Amino acid sequence: MLNALTNVPVHYLFPGGRSKAVTLSYDDGAVDDRQLVAIFNRYGLKSTFHINSGGLDKGNRIAADEVKGLYAGHEVACHFYNHPFIDRVPPAKIIHEILADRLKLESIVNYPVRGLSYSMGMHNQTAREIAAMLGIAYSRTTFSGRQWTLPENWLAWNPTCRHADDDFLPMAEKFIAGKHPFSLFYAWGHSFEFERLNNWKIIESFSEMMQATTASIWFATNIEIFDYVEALQRLRFSADCSMVFNPSVLSVWLEVGDNSLELPAGKLTCTN
Ligand SMILES: [Zn+2]
């Protein structure tokens, strides 16, 4: 019994039994998001848009009344109301920056806004603790981890790379070709970079390449990745992994041997 079970590999999978996921994050709410969203929608990709809502309706930023419609189907998340260097301001200011951003964005999109990205990429322990206390589930850094792994600390979530990195498309090709189970590709940037450098073709090529993989790669927003992984982490396995109870409201998937197995929400499933 023990032998048989230890010889059967059990791995996490993404929804639909997919072994990989792609998520994206674009900051600041620039007007060029209009073109970027159109590209993502054309190819079925999902992105999170991290918005410092104090900048809405100003300069090259989109209008507040445009947010809900433009980003429908994607995630709207926080980016600190006034976009400060948060490692240089007092805790009270950090509290205000996150809370004001959440309140404003939630009043616009009408759902709980639980994601964050650090403005200028700056963060410290105080900021991470305050974010958690204010109901933030995850926060993205600007450090390119250049890995396919899920974060150890969701409040210091290092993306894989920027779209502006020289090897962005080769990295994406490598990710698609790779055999790593349960791997994540996370790219980020600002849409105004495409307009400034007149290189929209980079994200078009990326999106087209990814669209061809939809059978094996899950396209998700940042918070969808977080919620799904949290549901996986809540699974209650028997010691020999032959039984597993899924207490969450989401179905999750496992690879058991060569088969993918759906674990319906609220149900006990036998894996053998
Ligand atoms: Zn920013």
In the chain (272 residues long), the average pLDDT of successive 10-residue segments reads 64 96 98 98 98 97 98 98 92 98 98 97 94 98 95 97 96 94 96 97 97 92 98 96 96 94 97 88
Domain range spanning residue 242?
Answer: 2-11+237-270
Residues 257 and 123 in one domain: no
Residues 157 and 180 in one domain: yes
Residue 115 Cα, ligand 1 centroid: separation in angstroms? 14
Q: Report residues near ion ligand 1: CB below 5 Å.
A: 27-28, 119
CA distance 197 to 7: 52
Residue 171 Cα, ligand 1 centroid: separation in angstroms? 24
Residues 177, 169, 74, 99: is their CA dihedral positive or negative?
positive
% of the chain residues with pLDDT over 70: 97
Global pTM exceeds 0.85: yes
Classify residue 158 by its DSSP letter.
Answer: -
Residue 83 Cα, ligand 1 centroid: separation in angstroms? 6
Confidence at residue 180, expressed as pLDDT on a 0 to 100 scale: 85
Give the CATH number, domain containing residue 164. Answer: 3.20.20.370
Residues 63 and 112 in one domain: yes
Residue 28 Cα, ligand 1 centroid: separation in angstroms? 5
Residues 67 and 186 in one domain: yes
Residue 129 Cα, ligand 1 centroid: separation in angstroms? 20
* Bridge partner residues of 77 (DSSP): 50
Residues 255 and 195 in one domain: no
Pairing label, strands 161-162, 138-140: unpaired
> Tokens 């207490």 identify what position?
247
Residue 165 Cα, ligand 1 centroid: separation in angstroms? 17
Residues 94 and 6 in one domain: no
Residues 252 and 163 in one domain: no
Residue 101 Cα, ligand 1 centroid: separation in angstroms? 13
Residues 145 and 257 in one domain: no
Residues 6 and 109 in one domain: no
Tally the domains of the chain: 2
Model confidence over 81-104: pLDDT tens digits? 999 998 899 999 999 999 999 999
Confidence at residue 4, expressed as pLDDT on a 0 to 100 scale: 55
Model confidence over 152-195: pLDDT tens digits? 999 999 999 999 999 999 999 999 999 888 999 999 999 999 99
% of the chain residues with pLDDT over 90: 90
Residue 270 CB neighbour total at 10 angstroms: 10
Residues 199 and 244 in one domain: no
Residues 63 and 107 in one domain: yes
**Nearest to residue 37, comparing CAs of 78, 81, 67?**
67
Residues 160 and 201 in one domain: yes
